[in-house]
Amino acid sequence: MQDAADVGEGAIMSKAFIIEIENRTAGIVAKDERGYRFFSAERIFERMDGRQFSSARDAERAALALLRERGRSNPLFDATS
């Protein structure tokens, strides 16, 4: 996970993290008043789009599980490409 937003002093703080799974950009999570909201970057992760997580790490785990599930359900699917 990489910190995608770090705002200077006196500004409204925004925390966003890029979620990368197996060399793929799954999306970003942005902190809001209820937790971390996921925004997908690739079609495979659209099912997670808009979902709330209690932490950025939870979103990362969910993205990894989704990618692995997709690979198991489609033997021709290459999770690394």
Say what the pTM is: 0.71
Q: Is residue 45 part of a domain?
A: yes
Q: Is residue 81 part of a domain?
A: no
Q: How many independent structural domains does the chain possess? A: 1
Per-block average pLDDT, block size 10, for the chain (81 residues)?
51 79 94 94 95 96 92 56 47
Q: According to the model, what pLDDT value does residue 70 have?
A: 83
CA 55 to each of CA 31, 44, 51, 58, 67: distance values in angstroms, whole numbers, following the listed order: 9, 21, 12, 5, 19
Q: Is residue 80 part of a domain?
A: no
Q: Is residue 46 part of a domain?
A: yes
